[in-house]
Amino acid sequence: MATPRFDGVELFLQIVESGNLTEAAERLNLTRSAVGKGLARLEARLGTSLLQRSTRRQRLTEDGQAYYEHCLRALAELEAAESVLESGRQQPRGRLRASLPLAFGHHYAAPALWGLMDRFAQLEIEISFSDRLIDLAQEGFDLAVRIGALPDTDRLSARRLGEQAIALAASPAYLQRTPPIESIEDLAVHRGIAYRSNAPHRARVASPLILDDLQAVADAAIAGVGLAWLPSWLIAHYVLRGQLQAVLPGHREQPMPIHVIWPTATHMPAKTRCAIDALVAGTPSCLAGS
């Protein structure tokens, strides 16, 4: 049987990178004798010495240095070729676990994700709706959409989807029965509905009702309970239905960025890649501010 042309290449690279035969043998789970014989066969096939060895050290010969550099370039080309094939052939499959914020998740992010199921028959999607901060790796999520500042960590990668502006709104019925609002100072005599969030607001109203769900805040505002700070996109949704009315439309709170985040890894699974692309495509232009 003919000797394979590339037999011994991995062994040679390990010898060079390990610095000696003994260390290379440990890395390859072989005996030192087997490594030495493998190097000898490679040198015999190539017809040249690759290493000069002594009891204390080893170094590459001129031919060995040239062969080592060619091997490195060849491996880099092979890895690039495999990446191209993998990205072109691998179809999203398996279960994608996503954590989405409540209101934005229901209105935009979730529909963008479950639309993938029509395209990829082997993809399963599990969605958890929550505004709490989670540890993706610890809780086993592939990605999450988060609104606000991101933690400073190299364990997470992120892609910006847009930004969310916050504005004030109330139901037409509430505004008809309460004093007019023409300035920030007029808010002092009004009742508010608070969203339990760490994001501060520059202009506040007394809020005897506190909720931890933006959709519930919107529902309470529609019911005429009081004024509510809500995302502009959510206000617009109900303004079109005549259920909410913008208050002090010239006043806006500081916008908050919206990102999709995922655990940093060398290779991204196809299911995660397609989900990120779907979220970017599903973000409406009204949120795509810089």
What is the percent of the chain with per-residue pLDDT over 70, rounded to a whole number?
88
261 and 137 belong to one structural domain: yes
Pairwise CA distance, residues 102 & 179, whole Å: 32
* Residue written as token pair 């500042």: 149
Q: Dig out the tokens for 12 from the structure.
A: 């040679």
User: What is the Cα–Cα distance from 161 to 132, expressed in whole angstroms?
Assistant: 19
204 and 264 together in one domain: no
**Higher pLDDT, residue 211 or 6:** 211
Q: What is the CATH number of the domain that holds 53?
A: 1.10.10.10
Q: Are 173 and 242 within one domain? A: yes
Check: CB of residue 239 under 8 Å from CB of residue 187.
no
Angle between helix 9-18 and 21-28 (nearest 10): 120
The pLDDT value recorded for residue 87 is: 57
The answer to whether residues 23 and 138 belong to one domain is: no
Average pLDDT over residues 173-179: 95
Q: Which two tokens stand for residue 221?
A: 């505002």
- This prediction has a pTM of 0.62
Report the C-alpha gap between 23 and 13 in whole angstroms: 12
Query: Given this model, what pLDDT does residue 199 score?
Result: 45
- Could you tell me the pLDDT band of residue 145, with boundaries at 50, 70 and 90? very high
Q: Is residue 1 in some structural domain?
A: no
Q: Output the domain CATH number for residue 174.
A: 3.40.190.10
Regarding whether 189 and 82 lie in a shared domain, the answer is: no
Give the count of domains, the chain: 3
Using the predicted structure, report yes or no on whether residue 189 has a pLDDT greater than 80.
yes
Confidence check: pLDDT of 273 > 80 = yes
- Provide CB contacts within 8 A for 280, sequence distance 6+: 159, 161, 260
Domain extent at residue 58: 9-89
Q: How does DSSP assign 70-123, residue by residue?
A: HHHHHHHHHHHHHHHHHHHHPPP-EEEEEEE-HHHIIIIIHHHHHGGGGT-TTE
CB 192 within 8 A of CB 184: no
